[in-house]
Amino acid sequence: MCGIVGAAAQRNVTKILVEGLKRLEYRGYDSAGLAVICDQQLTLRKALGKVAGLEEKCIANPVKGVVGIAHTRWATHGKPSELNAHPHSSDHIAVVHNGIIENHAQLRQRLRNQGYEFVSETDTEVISHLLHSLYDQAGSLREALRLAIAEFDGAYALGVISTREPDTLVCARSGSPLVVGVGFEENFIASDPLALRQVTDRFIYLEEGDLAVVTAANIEIFEQSGKPVTRPVDRITETDEASDKGQYRHFMLKEIHEQTRVLRNTLQGRVSKTAVLDGCFGTDAQTIFDQVEAVQILACGTSYHAGMIARYWFEDWAGIPCAVEVASEYRYRKSVVRPNTLFVSISQSGETADTLAALRGSRESGYLASLTVCNVANSSLVRESDLSLMTLAGPEIGVASTKAFTSQLVALQLLVIALGKRAAMSRETEAELVAALHQLPGLCEQVLALDSQIVRISEAFTEKKNALFLGRGVDYPIAMEGALKLKEISYIHAEAYPAGELKHGPLALVDDDMPVVAVAPNNELLEKLKSNLEEVQARGGKLFVFADESAGFMNDGNTTVFNLPHAPLSIAPILYTLPLQLLAYHVAVLKGTDVDQPRNLAKSVTVE
Ligand code: AGP
């Protein structure tokens, strides 16, 4: 979603702000802007489009200042335009904002009645005028911000500066993430630590309702009640390589190829040769796990697909009833929770607003406990769940989730086994599943080596407007994930169906202009799938079958077969994801779309 960077230093901070924005651009990117204070003057620069445009403006017309705030915007209220880009100012005050102020219309009306004029269509402009209206009576930026946030309904992470306090940056968060970066005689704020890795490796994660006053020399934090509070400083040890594409043309391709290493990481220290190590869920897990009788999974997008796959595993391998739901739906309906149900959220970012709201809403619903499968340590979901299992995929920059998804699947297998062996799973089954997991990284490497064959297949898709993806059983959610990847980065309309559903409607769409992708490991549903694919062939559909080498598919004029090495069935869904990711990637490259930052999308969806 939108990104925030801010700095208070003794040097010109413009470059730090622009570099920070570039690192955040993957989160949301229709426009960018910054504001700095120099010689008691507020200077603003804004540009529509990429941060590079803002950078050019700052070079053509240089800006200097020792305190500043900056923002990349992903439009929620008002179209992408320079006028709607942040920062928004009101006389001596400038504001950057992530989130949504839900009662902006009422506040706007009140401020209009007081004589304020609005130049943008954003909810954020309400904040700058409200702060201005409160400042004189409040006597300080900190107090004005405290009074203002008491009036907001909704979610926010805010950075604010004023020429009346030219050395100070104030910030606050509720519902949207914000960190303070701790430097040497300079300090920073950002919505994601990644934005500040060029200037510091020490971070304070602000808690819900926190407000902070940041100068070059000092950081003061106040909790919601207004009481000063000390928050721990965490040192991030990860290298900075995540923000570098290395030899790859796009982050997405780099992240696809990282999967061999990433999946080894996810497993490391968590499995022996034959078993899942009990300690990997933390010390509190044992007593909770012993009581689990059912699982409810909540997630969005790709993470939801991971949850759908885990449902098959929970019920098939562990005999544990499992329900899966999209978080944005679940949070607004009444649900009946069975006794001893574990609430499991899945999220790459750990900040997805709907998933977080589902977790928060679940607290009064009678769940046994909550567990999150997440990629970002210190994210809100991790901090607010009773238990967490980190996927250890490393920062994922491409908006299209790739390595985060496969590492979620591995982490979910660990969870299924850990719970399963307390239920219906035998030691032999556990040993078989773990042995298969050990084979997974090597098999991924073999599949990724076939990349050039996928480039050839992808040529058949570039002129197409639609595509169908088919799978059966546990491979149906893999087909859904393949379709999501294709639509989000190539903008080809792609839908997934359980292959058995084809004749109940979608078959009407099949003709010789419709590419149909099938996920076909050699499992117990293969023959059923083959019959469904014959229905496609009979209508002249162009079939692209990703199949086990022993599945017996043959290439012909209308059928292209991509053979995958034979793999244990328990890990096949993870393996079959890789060629579908590569297919979407190569189609997008051939079409010339913006692979890492597809239109209208954001990496971390912190608004509902
Ligand atoms: C994946 O390619 C997507 N861009 C998107 O569906 C994503 O998975 C979804 O927004 C959930 O994000 P999360 O995993 O960070 O919660």
What confidence tens digit (pLDDT) does each residue in 197-239 have? 899 999 999 988 999 999 999 999 999 989 999 999 988 876 5
Helix, coil or strand: residue 289: helix
- Pair of tokens at residue 250: 């796009």
pLDDT band with cut points at 50, 70 and 90 for residue 539: confident
Q: Kindly list the protein residues whose Cβ atom lies closer than 6 A to any atom of ligand 1.
A: 300-303, 347-349, 352, 355, 399-401, 488, 601, 604-605
> Does residue 244 register a pLDDT over 80?
no
> Does residue 603 register a pLDDT over 90?
no
- Pair of tokens at residue 176: 């949207």
Comparing CA positions, the residue from 21, 57, 37, 301 lying closest to residue 189 is 21
Distance 2 CA to ligand 1 centre (A): 15
Distance 601 CA to ligand 1 centre (A): 10
Nearest CA to ligand 1 atom 6: 301
> Does residue 26 register a pLDDT over 70?
no
Contact indicator for 496, 479 with CB cutoff of 8 Å: yes
Contact indicator for 287, 304 with CB cutoff of 8 Å: no
- Please compute the mean of the pLDDT values over residues 562-583 and round it to a whole number: 96
With b meaning 16 or more CB within 10 Å and e meaning fewer, what string describes 307-343?
bbbbbbbbeebbebebbbbbbbebbeeeeeeeeebbb
Contact indicator for 553, 547 with CB cutoff of 8 Å: yes
Per-residue pLDDT at 509 = 87
* 127-174 tens-digit pLDDT: 999 999 999 999 999 999 999 999 998 779 999 999 999 999 999 998
Per-residue pLDDT at 114 = 95
* 318-330 tens-digit pLDDT: 999 999 999 999 9
Q: Among all chains, which residue has been given the structure tokens 């070079």? A: 59
Contact indicator for 86, 33 with CB cutoff of 8 Å: yes
Contact indicator for 435, 301 with CB cutoff of 8 Å: no
* 514-536 tens-digit pLDDT: 999 999 998 888 889 888 888 88
pLDDT band with cut points at 50, 70 and 90 for residue 23: confident
Per-residue pLDDT at 313 = 98
Per-residue pLDDT at 309 = 98
> Does residue 377 register a pLDDT over 80?
no
Distance 99 CA to ligand 1 centre (A): 17
Tell me how far apart the alpha carbons of residues 383 and 394 are, in angstroms, rounded to a whole number: 18
In the chain, DSSP finds a helix count (H) and a strand count (E) of: 18, 24
Mark whether 2 is an active-site residue: yes
* 51-87 tens-digit pLDDT: 999 999 999 999 999 999 999 987 777 888 999 999 9
> Does residue 240 register a pLDDT over 60?
no
Q: Among all chains, which residue has been given the structure tokens 């500066």? A: 161
Mark whether 374 is an active-site residue: no
pLDDT band with cut points at 50, 70 and 90 for residue 242: low
Mean pLDDT estimate for the chain: 92
- The answer to whether the bond into 87 is cis (omega within 30° of 0) is yes
Per-residue pLDDT at 115 = 96
* 457-485 tens-digit pLDDT: 999 999 999 999 999 999 999 999 999 99
- Pair of tokens at residue 571: 């890990």
Distance 271 CA to ligand 1 centre (A): 27
Instruction: Collect all residues with Cβ–Cβ distance below 8 Å to 247 and sequence separation of at least 6.
Output: none
> Does residue 193 register a pLDDT over 80?
yes
Residues of the chain with pLDDT > 70, as a percent, come to 98
> Does residue 108 register a pLDDT over 90?
yes
Mean pLDDT is lowest, of 242-256, 332-346, 443-457, for 242-256
Q: Which atom of ligand 1 is nearest to the CA of 302?
A: 8
Count CA within 13 A, CB hemisphere, residue 574: 32
Compare 272 and 260 and report the one with higher pLDDT. Answer: 260
pLDDT band with cut points at 50, 70 and 90 for residue 316: very high
Distance (Å) of CA 504 to CA 122, 333, 500, 535: 45, 29, 8, 12
> Does residue 575 register a pLDDT over 90?
yes
**Which residue type is seen at 51?**
V
